Amino acid sequence: MDAVAPGVRELRLHVLGEWRVVYVAALADAVYVLHCFRKRARKTPQAELELARRRYRQIGDR
């Protein structure tokens, strides 16, 4: 998910619909889950990406 930030990954789940987990594992020996959401459209909504970006910036401040 370079649309969020470098090193951010997306986990795709196909259980009772389409779900996405956006996470980063390269910071401070931890896995940070930035956002989880149900994907209802073919393209990921911009609001979902922006929320993940904001959360990524928040953990970068630590």
Residue 34 falls within a domain, yes or no? yes
* The pLDDT of residue 62: 54
* The pLDDT of residue 28: 67
* The pLDDT of residue 61: 58
Residue 28 falls within a domain, yes or no? yes
Consecutive H or E run containing 52: helix 46-60
> Would you say 49 and 2 are in contact if contact means Cβ atoms under 8 Å apart?
no
Could you state, in chain order, the average pLDDT of each consecutive group of 10 residues for the chain (62 residues)?
90 95 83 94 93 92 56
Domain count, the chain: 1
pTM: 0.83
Query: Where in the sequence is the domain holding 35, given as residue range(s)?
Result: 8-60
Which among 61, 40, 48, 52 has a CA at the least distance from the CA of 5?
52
Residue 3 falls within a domain, yes or no? no
Residue 2 falls within a domain, yes or no? no
